[in-house]
Structure 1
């Protein structure tokens, strides 16, 4: 496979190039965004790593040109600063498949320490499906204008158990997930009847900005979960990065909190841990699970267990996945109710959630 490394730093070009060469790539390099566009036209690489901060043509401008002229998988290289986090989200919105963050300090040493991560992400990106969300940005902008005109009336808070609040929707995603989550969550109605818990593999520097971005587009309020919180219906909770979301019951109320990342799990925030703790706290028939695009198998075994116990489980189909890893693991287990494209998930979630909530309330009255 061919990889193009784009960075204005000769040291970074050399180090990333050497890492990818050891990973089996045929590597070429470019110093500027303009040079990268020429290299892409001439060499036709399978994947590009692209620095965000470059002179003359910055990485975001270059990415925009790539995605409009010759779409191909791109992995962004950005810093962990506030500005870097915002640029990372913008890059994902423009079509980047994934990103690698350069820690502050001795960057060259840090890059070497991330060799396995870089090779894994670039290899996954090279085989990724480039998502074409035609008109998504325009639809979301129009939706945001509608949302901003609404007057919200806060719900009266119920005690968790015995009120129907014990039902949850659990969503897990990794590579390619942010764009899919924007599409799905922005399509849910303001009165979606359950709390929605989201684990997207991201560092803590990014999840706050990601939550704020989602909040601009979604009819439901979106918050980043950073502390022990009572879960309310019609609210979306995004797990803080570099930690795990844990569901619990306290004093008769359903809650979630953020716990330090558990080394027993390979990815964080851990979908597996979120689902496991939800199943320990809430009956399976009150849970809906959704597994979206991503590398690896985070959450697949636990969602299969949830399905066997009576929960309702969705997997994103290969057709719309950027990386068909996590959903594939779930589908191959045979423990899934529906395998559908990302564009179909929101409508199906609404129907299943309302049906399950009706069943819960009926059972409570009996």
Structure 2
């Protein structure tokens, strides 16, 4: 496994230019550096074999390159992955599943790839309190009744670079909005206490850990645990399964989207912040079919934009912005919704 701040070197060998391109893009999403990309003839013409930690080899016809495997086995001690599946069309559900299968194979050889905002990054955020002036809630929006279950829930999905982005988003919201949040953050469980302290310090929204039987209330930001899968029962109460989250990382943002929207349907929305990989891209079209809003953080403001970019590539997103713009858009959306509701009530009177 690479040390923090370093990128494991991977070599890609394929006789298909398209396959090389898609493999190179895919490993970049998971924080890997492509130390060599080329066809077998180019590799064997090199004066010295590249020094990498893993080889990815995929050929349209292995019979066309009978000496390649012997060449690799004689010249490198690094693991070699042969016969990878052909990459489907980018942006499709099958493509995102292909990427997940690929990362599973990569992690079997290299260990956990996602260098989450660990102790160093979180400690940089964990500074003495500063005065943060939040905008005022528009007078058209009635304050959410404290302690009551939220009628509308927004899922905040984040990974690498996520804590800083989510903190900036929450700090930019006016207090008292009549909504609740469920926060799915890829992170080492050892850093949960620091994350809770950092995210709960300045915002007007109460960060709390998920509890069995609790409901998401107005003003809550419910942090889902990393270890086991959580879902909502028929009454909208949080429940924990005995099995771990599916997929390479916990919590699985795709599974969170599916589990929460299964109860809230069109009253469940999602914002995908900075992160590595493509978590959220498989479930986003399902939420869109319910009528949910899917927003993402823009690439320029991300620590790593692979995750929001993957969701954006599905064509399901209706807004893209930095954390402050996302907060402003959410406030505006709630305001417009309440104005429309008041107009409808007036017209029907």
Shorter-chain TM-score above 0.5: yes
Query: Take 2:111 and 2:338, find their aligned partners in 1: how far apart are those partners?
Result: 41
The 1-side partners of 2:312 and 2:178 are apart by 27
- Structure 2: how far apart are the matches of 1:241 and 1:361? 41
Aligned partner (choices 256, 271, 295) of residue 314 of structure 1: 295
Q: CA RMSD in A?
A: 4.1
Match of 1:188 in 2: 173
Contact 1:308 1:335 (C-alpha < 8 Å) held by counterparts: no
Which of 130, 144, 168 is the matching residue for 1:141? 130
Shift of 1:265: 2.7
For the 8 Å contact 1:261–1:268, the answer to whether it is kept is: no
Partner of 2:184: 199
Deviations 1:224-264 (A, max 9, x none): 214331221111111122233323332xxx32234345453
Shift of 1:328: 1.2
The structure where helix makes up a greater share of residues is 1
1:116 aligns with 110
Partner of 1:173: 158
2:94 is matched with none
- Aligned residue among 254, 269, 275 for 1:272: 254
Q: Does 1:337 align with 2:336?
A: no
Aligned partners of 1:304 and 1:336 also within 8 Å: no
- In 2, the alpha carbon distance for the partners of 1:245 and 1:364 equals 37
TM-score in terms of structure 2 length: 0.58
CA distance in 2, matches of 1:154, 1:280: 23
Deviations 1:181-231 (A, max 9, x none): 111112222202111110000122222331122111111211121433122
* Contact preservation (8 Å) 1:226, 1:240: no
Query: Can you give the 5+ residue segments of structure 1 that lack an aligned partner in the other structure?
Result: 8-15, 27-112, 126-130, 147-152
Residues 323-362 of structure 1 show CA distances to partners (whole Å, capped at 9, x for unaligned) of: 1111111111111111112231111112223444666788
TM-score by length of 1: 0.56
Indicate the SS of the match to 2:169: helix
> CA shift at 1:305, angstroms?
2.0
CA contact (8 A) 2:280 2:307 kept: yes
Residues 140/193 of structure 1: CA separation in 2 closer, same or farther (3 Å cut): farther
Q: Secondary structure at the match of 2:300?
A: coil
CA distance in 2, matches of 1:190, 1:311: 23
More relative contact order, 1 or 2 (CA 8 Å, 6+ apart): 2
Show the 5 A alignment for 1:43-122. Answer: 116-117=110-111, 120-121=113-114
Equivalent position of 1:238 in the other structure: 223
1:14-72: CA deviation from partner (whole Å, max 9, x where unpaired): xx99x76997799xxxxxxxxxxxxxxxxxxxxxxxxxxxxxxxxxxxxxxxxxxxxxx
Change (3 A) 1:212 1:25: same
**Structure 2 counterpart SS, 1:336:** coil
Give yes or no for contact 1:199–1:245 (8 Å, CA) kept in 2: no
Indicate whether 1:283 and 2:265 are aligned: yes
Supply the distance in 2 between the matched residues of 1:197 and 1:294 (Cα, whole angstroms): 17
Tell me how far apart the structure 2 counterparts of residues 298 and 200 of structure 1 sit (CA, whole Å). 11
Question: Computing the radius of gyration over CA atoms, which structure comes out larger, 1 or 2?
Answer: 2
Indicate the residue corresponding to 1:221 in structure 2.
Answer: 206
Contact 2:214 2:238 in 1 (8 A): yes
For residues 217 and 155 of structure 1, what CA distance do their matches in structure 2 show? 21
**What's the CA shift for 1:279?**
1.6
**What secondary structure does 2:156 align onto?**
strand
In structure 1, distance between residues paired with 2:257 and 2:9: 35
Structure 2, unmatched stretches of 5+, are 12-31, 36-106, 136-142
Count of matched residue pairs: 243
1:71-119 C-alpha deviation (Å, 9 max, x unpaired)? xxxxxxxxxxxxxxxxxxxxxxxxxxxxxxxxxxxxxxxxxx986245x
Which of the residues 279, 304, 311 maps onto 1:323? 304
Counterparts of 1:208 and 1:137, CA distance in 2 = 11
